[in-house]
Amino acid sequence: MMNCSSEIVFTLGGLNNTKTTKNIYFAFSFLIYLFTIFVNLTLIMKILFDKILHEPMHIFLCNLCVNGLCGATAFYPKILMDFLAESHTISYSACLTQIYVIYNYVFCEFTNLAAMAYDRYVAICQPLQYYSVMTPKKVGKLLVAIWLIPIVETTIGIMMTAKLPLCGSRIDKIYCTNWEVVKLACTNTTLNNLYGYILMFLHVFQACLLILISYIYIIRTCLQSQVGWNKFMETCLPHLITLIGFTLSVIFDVMYARYGSKTSLQALGHIFSVEYLVVPPLVNPLIYGVKLKQIRGSLWRTVSRRIRALK
């Protein structure tokens, strides 16, 4: 048993490539990271500084982009350094920090998507009461809940993991996850596993259930008129694409970590296990920027002014 967890240095697996291949991966990942930062910051700044976009839906979208930047930043800097390094290690404190930020990103994403589903439900099913229901005060409370609930949940989980004595130092992933660290424990981890299952049920399942119920009412309302259906396609379709893609990628990562083979298709498993950290932060701003008419129009006006200024 390792007596002092703070002195542990974990060895990460999954990057057994040649130097040439690593350099290619580094260049490709670095460009994706820069583009992810650019598209998210563009949408965030546009929503913050354009008063036309100061609507609840756009505020939640802005929050989604901020959270996406947190998730991407928890993953990219470390993997970029590993592509350039001979050995792939991470300190115990850095590993727990990465776990904390990634898990907080995941739970915050689900909570934010649930808030967006509720906003769409009120906007489509109760349009006349929308502004009396989605008041600035209520939006503020929802934003606090979106961040506060995941922070509390993740903090408890990390504290439980930090108390475990460890008997190993190899993590079979290209980044740290709670499950990989818990597997290295020398003692019984039933309490940690139980907390994980409770958390999945109370947070993820309830968020998905709220979203499902909201969309049952939304779709039923939208099917009654062509105008309603057009509104659904414009504002709700991007939300559904984001939700489905994110949920499937998280489920795959959880299932593969527990039941996936460690010998066959390992490279494919590593690729799919980072999908929820790479694709949503990159794609979400693009999907919403294209589909939401107000954002698309605002971006186009900005680009047009810049073009005219250059002439």
Q: For the segment 232-280, what is each residue's pLDDT rounded down to a tens digit?
A: 777 777 778 888 888 888 888 877 777 766 655 666 677 778 889 999 9
Please write the tens of the pLDDT for every residue from 121-162: 998 888 889 999 999 999 999 999 999 999 999 999 999 999
Q: How many domains does the chain have?
A: 1
Q: Find how far residue 280's CA is from the centre of its chain.
A: 6
Cβ-contact 246, 113 below 8 angstroms = yes
What residue numbers bound the domain in which 302 lies?
A: 5-310
The predicted structure's pLDDT at residue 266: 65
Token pair 């190899």 in the structure block, residue: 170
pLDDT above 60: residue 37? yes
pLDDT value of residue 18 = 62
More confident residue, 288 or 144: 144
User: Each residue of 237-248: b (16+ CB within 10 Å) or e?
Assistant: ebbbebbebbbe
Confidence class of residue 5 from pLDDT cuts 50, 70 and 90?
Answer: very low
Residue 129's pLDDT is: 92
Predicted confidence band of residue 3 (pLDDT cuts 50, 70, 90) = very low
- pLDDT at residue number 51: 84
Q: In what order do the strands lie in the sheet with 9-12?
A: 89-91, 9-12, 170-171
Q: Provide the b/e sequence for 129-157 (b: ≥16 CB within 10 Å).
A: eeeeebeeeebeebbeebbebbeebbeeb
- Can you give the length of the chain in residues? 311
What is the share, in percent, of the chain residues with pLDDT greater than 70?
88
Considering only 78-87, 88-97, 231-240, which range has the smallest mean pLDDT?
Answer: 231-240
Span 95-116, mean pLDDT? 94
Among the listed residues 172, 10, 158, the one whose alpha carbon sits nearest the alpha carbon of residue 91:
10
Instruction: State yes or no: pLDDT of 88 exceeds 50.
Output: yes
Q: From the CB of residue 189, how many other CB atoms can be counted at a distance below 10 Å?
A: 18
Q: In terms of Cα–Cα distance, which of 233, 207, 209 is closest to 124?
A: 233
Per the prediction, the chain carries an average pLDDT of 85
- On whether the CB atoms of residues 215 and 140 are closer than 8 A, the answer is no
Task: Identify the sign of the CA torsion 53, 51, 47, 154.
Answer: negative
Confidence at residue 106, expressed as pLDDT on a 0 to 100 scale: 93
pLDDT tens-digit series, residues 187-234: 888 999 899 888 887 888 888 888 889 888 888 888 887 777 777 777
pTM for the predicted model, two decimal places:
0.89
Find the mean pLDDT for residues 93-116: 94
Residue 300, classified by CB atoms within 10 Å of its CB into exposed (0-12), middle (13-18) or buried (19+), is exposed
Q: How far apart are CA 190 and CA 198, in angstroms?
A: 12
Q: Spell out the residues 6+ positions from residue 42 whose beta carbon is closer than 8 angstroms to its own.
A: 285, 299
Instruction: Give the list of residues 6+ apart from residue 289 with CB closer than 8 angstroms, or none.
Output: 39, 43, 295, 296, 299
List own/partner pairs for 270-274 with CB under 8 A and 24 or more apart: 270/14, 270/173, 270/174, 273/173, 273/174, 274/75, 274/174, 274/175
How far is 142 from 64, CA to CA, in rounded Å?
13
Q: Where residue 182 sits, what CATH number does that domain have?
A: 1.20.1070.10
pLDDT for 2 beyond 60: no
Residue 7 is predicted with a pLDDT of 66
Tell me the residue ranges of DSSP E strands in the chain: 9-12, 89-91, 170-171
